[in-house]
Amino acid sequence: MLRYLTGRLLRAVLTIFLVITFAFFVLHLSGDPAMMILSADAPPESIKAFRAAWGLDRPLWVQYLAYVWNALHGDLGNSMRDGRPALQLVLERVPATLAITVPAFLLKLTIGIPAGIYAALHRNSLTDRLTMMVSVAGFTVPSFVLALVLVLVFSVQLGWLPSAGRDSATSAILPIVTLGIAGAAILARFTRSAMLEVLGQPYIRAASAKGLQWRKVVVQHALPNAAIPTTTIVGFMVGTLIAGAVVVESVFAWPGIGRLLVSSVSNRDLAVVQVILLLVAATMVTANIIVDVIYGWLDPRLRRGSRAR
């Protein structure tokens, strides 16, 4: 198991480096980094200072190393908007994003997984078909459409909930529900197929043939095995806690990272974009490691470190 984890850790570090390298190359391919990050009408002294700080007149591989060093410290320049360090700006927005993504994530889990399991256990029943129809909507309806429809119904027609901003206590409800529903639908469908695959296995039939109560068969045999693939997608959802609300935040004018990213892209405020990119990468990679650790614990084949020869 230790060997398995060390391998995964190595992979995670490699991915982060890959992202940093990717950002470095895209930055250099698209133009002069100093001009891009500082903006065209910055005073020549600050451009010179920037060049020195980033070593832009030194050979490329030196620049790369400097970039990597800076990236690992989160120092990728100041935002064009207000001159503050991009990292600070981004980190300020994190709580706002988490305020909607975390509850949405819990919503996804508490609705999606049970729905999927129920649908799998009562295959082809009315509830199953309904759940599947609703869940199909989850990945065919874009989040902005869902958001706008909800706003249309609940804000415009019914007037119950505010349609934008973070002013009142109820502002968060619509964004959370939008994120939650879409994710729950996807999770339900996925859980259902994982469960169906497990339930179709011979050992399930063997367990119930042994005379074990169906409920125990499900709880002791089916669920733990279905948990393994489900963990992957839940892990992915955890990874997108920071990045997954870009569109929703824009629709609801929610002051989080997603909205910051969109405005930074429009303004080409590259320092901020880089920081967000790296932050997202770091989150995804961390989530993957956690998933790998859980896998290592859940899957006895990995726990005992058996080698298939």
Cβ atoms of residues 136 and 130 within 8 Å: no
Cβ atoms of residues 75 and 278 within 8 Å: no
Nearest to 5 by CA among 261, 297, 227, 293: 293
* Binding flag, residue 101, other proteins (CB under 8 A): no
Q: Which is nearer to other proteins, 117 or 150 (CB)?
A: 150
Q: Which is nearer to other proteins, 121 or 246 (CB)?
A: 246
* Binding flag, residue 247, other proteins (CB under 8 A): yes
* Binding flag, residue 204, other proteins (CB under 8 A): no
Q: Which is nearer to other proteins, 212 or 233 (CB)?
A: 233
By CB under 8 A, name the one of 79, 171, 230, 240 that touches other proteins.
240
137 torsion bin: left (phi>0), alpha (psi -120 to 50), beta (else): alpha
Scanning 46-54, 106-114, 209-217, 238-246 for contacts with other proteins by CB under 8 A, the matching segment is: 238-246
Q: Which is nearer to other proteins, 67 or 212 (CB)?
A: 67
Scanning 70-78, 93-101, 209-217, 278-286 for contacts with other proteins by CB under 8 A, the matching segment is: 278-286
Site for other proteins in 125-164 (CB under 8 A): 136-137, 139-145, 148-149, 151-152, 156
d(CA 220, CA 122): 18
Q: Report the interhelical angle of 173-199 vs 86-107 (nearest 10°).
A: 60
Instruction: Provide the minimum distance between the beta carbon of 216 and other proteins in the complex, in angstroms, as a whole number.
Output: 27
Contact letters for other proteins, residues 58-97 (x by CB under 8 A): ----------------------------------------
* Binding flag, residue 27, other proteins (CB under 8 A): yes
Provide CB contacts within 8 A for 293, sequence distance 6+: 5
Instruction: Provide the minimum distance between the beta carbon of 210 and other proteins in the complex, in angstroms, as a whole number.
Output: 27
d(CA 273, CA 261): 6
Q: Which is nearer to other proteins, 62 or 137 (CB)?
A: 137
By CB under 8 A, name the one of 285, 292, 295, 296 that touches other proteins.
285
d(CA 94, CA 74): 15
By CB under 8 A, name the one of 20, 34, 185, 276 that touches other proteins.
276
Q: Give the residues lining the site for other proteins (CB under 8 A).
A: 3, 6-7, 11, 14-15, 18-19, 22-23, 26-27, 29-31, 36, 136-137, 139-145, 148-149, 151-152, 156, 193, 197, 239-240, 243-244, 246-247, 250-251, 261-262, 264-266, 268-270, 273-274, 276-277, 280-281, 284-285, 288
